[in-house]
Each structure stands twice: as structure tokens, then as C-alpha cells.
Amino acid sequence: MSGADAADQRQKAFIGRFLAHVPHLAALGIRYRAHGPDWAELEMPYAPHLVAYPETGVIASGAIFSLMDTASGLAVVMRMAELQPHATLDLRCDYLRPAEPGRTVVGRAECLKLTRRIAFVRGIAHDGDPDHPVAHVAGTFMLTAAA
């Protein structure tokens, strides 16, 4: 294993541990899927307790927002050279279409720009085909420890 691979494995293990200790993510079933230098991908398997429309079985947009907020924050962490405290400043989510009942929703976000105090992110959620997204997000994060 090369040094870069080892670093990647360490980063992946860190993300797994980090996510496993967030109670709200456990409550929604959100878990790690993939990451890169400036992006992160999470997944949220379909579950009855996420449903907002019992007549159709469609899950709540709020659950997708949680998925994308988390993926966005993780993308910011991936972009940082070292972990710094940060908080969501704002996040906009466009709900392009309902997620198909029964399908796992995948949330992928990338950090477009990281300044000393602000990080800019965008991302999409899809339920199988990234070219046919269910949601689109754009947001900013604040690095809370920055002077």
C-alpha cells in the first residue's frame, strides 16, 4: 500500500468513526459511502420512519436535507488540510422530484472553495442515477475558530 493509500485508508476510517458517533445520523440511517480530496458521498437507505407521505411511501424532504447538510459538511472537512471547527451558515435545497420509495438515496457534495473563514459547497442527491437527481443543494459553512 502506498503512502497516499494509507492516508486515504486512515481518512476513511476517521470518517466511519466520526459518522458512527453522530446520533441523528444513526436515527436516520445515514452512513459513509465514498470521499475524495474535496468531496464526500453518503447514503441513506429507504426506511419507513423517514416517510412523509404515507399514501405513496415517499420520504421526507427534511431527511434529504439532513443527508445533504451532512455530506456538505464532510466535503468541507475533506478540503481542509486539518480538521477545524465549522458550522453551517446557510443551505438551500431544491427538491427536483420525489425519491423513489424503496430506493437508497445517495448524497454527494463538493467543496468548491475554502477561504480562511468561509467554505462554499454544492451537491446533489440521487436515488440510483446521478444524472437524474432528486435534489440539488448550495450552501456556505463558517470556520468558527478563524480569527
Partner 1 sequence: MTVLSDLPPYAATLGIVPNPDGSLTMPFAPSLIGAPGRIHGGALAGLLELAALRAVLEALEPGATAKPINVTVDYLREGRMEDTHARATITRLGRRVANVRAEAWQDSPDRLVVAARLNILVDRPAPAVP
Residues that bind partner 1 (CB under 8 A): 22-28, 48-54, 59-63, 65-67, 69-70, 87-95
| Residue 144 beta carbon to partner 1: minimum distance, rounded to whole angstroms | 9
Beta bridge partners of 59: 51
**Residue number with CB closer to partner 1 (50 or 114):** 50
Q: Which residues contact 70 (CB under 8 A, 6 or more apart)?
A: 19, 22, 25, 30, 42, 107
| Residue 57 beta carbon to partner 1: minimum distance, rounded to whole angstroms | 10
**Residue number with CB closer to partner 1 (59 or 119):** 59
**Residue number with CB closer to partner 1 (28 or 143):** 28
d(CA 138, CA 124): 9
- Whether residue 141 contacts residue 73, with contact meaning beta carbons closer than 8 Å, is answered with yes
